[in-house]
Amino acid sequence: MVRWKLMIVVAWSLTLGALSGLAMLPGGLGRLFKGPDAGTPVARALVGGPFTLTAHDGKRVSDRDFRGKFMLVYFGFTYCPDVCPAGLQVISAALQQLGPKGEIFAPLFISVDPERDTPADLARYVQSFHPRLVGLTGTAEEIGAVAKAYRVYYKKVKDEKSTIGYTIDHTSLIYIMDPSGNYVTHFTHATPLDQMVDRLRKFL
Ligand code: NI
């Protein structure tokens, strides 16, 4: 009887120990199930980071070149059939509605298809959406590192229907980073235009 009680006490304290151990992980248990909450210090620490990439005009640029502006960061690729165009269209339309005040936002399109997306391809592509949209590409390693920093998933997938033989599955979030480069919040490519305009207006 005494031994049973002891075992129960031991088991219980082990459980508590394990739980408090998990709770001490960044973000605690909640993060494991809900993902980073927008705007919390945890999310700020988890999303984003330094990068140096090649812009669509061939120049090397880093995250530091956008300090003082809110970066709108979107990852995708120029051959993307519908998701990327939808995301870029909503960003462009929102910036158009905000007018000159919207220049505090720096829209960036980072290619997850660096093998195919040359700076020249990106130049043609981004200019078809918005004159201030900056297309960024780089080596496979550079893209891998920035995608990891932004918690972006991307994977090449065989696609027989595609004329180019493959497509790329990718995260389709539009991140807002503050003028110091810290994560603030995010949208998706499916966020309605009026909702995006309202949210962006709050930063003006
Ligand atoms: Ni896409």
- DSSP letters of 22-64? HHTSTTHHHHHHH-PPTTSHHHHHHS----EEEETTS-EEEGG
CA of 133 to the centre of ligand 1 (A): 16
Q: In a 3-state reduction of DSSP, which class is residue 120? A: helix
Structure-token match 């180019």, residue found: 164
Reply yes or no on whether the pLDDT at 87 is more than 80: yes
Alpha carbon distances (Å) from 96 to 87, 101, 150: 14, 10, 26
CA of 55 to the centre of ligand 1 (A): 18
Query: Among residues 124, 123, 155, which one has the least CA distance to residue 136?
Result: 123
Q: Cα(67)–Cα(186) distance, rounded to whole angstroms? A: 18
Q: Which uninterrupted H or E stretch holds 43?
A: helix 41-46
CA of 172 to the centre of ligand 1 (A): 7
Residue 193 pLDDT: 97
CA of 89 to the centre of ligand 1 (A): 12
CA of 74 to the centre of ligand 1 (A): 9
Q: In a 3-state reduction of DSSP, which class is residue 17? A: helix
CA of 203 to the centre of ligand 1 (A): 27
Write down the mean pLDDT value for the chain.
84
Residue pair 139/154 in contact (Cβ under 8 Å)? The answer is no
Q: How confident is the model at residue 160 (pLDDT cuts 50, 70, 90)?
A: confident
Residue 14 pLDDT: 39
C-alpha angle 88-125-185 in degrees, rounded to nearest 5: 25
Q: Which uninterrupted H or E stretch holds 149?
A: helix 140-149
Residue 44 pLDDT: 64
Query: Among residues 40, 41, 110, 36, which one has the least CA distance to residue 71?
Result: 110
Residue 173 pLDDT: 96
Residue 30 pLDDT: 34
CA of 87 to the centre of ligand 1 (A): 8
CA of 84 to the centre of ligand 1 (A): 4
Reply yes or no on whether the pLDDT at 136 is more than 80: yes
Query: Among residues 46, 99, 82, which one has the least CA distance to residue 190?
Result: 82
Residue 23 pLDDT: 37
Residues 17-69 pLDDT 10s: 343 333 333 443 333 334 444 556 666 668 999 999 999 999 999 999 999 99
CA of 29 to the centre of ligand 1 (A): 31
Reply yes or no on whether the pLDDT at 2 is more than 60: no
CA of 111 to the centre of ligand 1 (A): 9
Q: Which residues pair with 136 in a beta bridge?
A: 55, 110
More confident residue, 93 or 159: 93
Residue 162 pLDDT: 79
CA of 125 to the centre of ligand 1 (A): 13
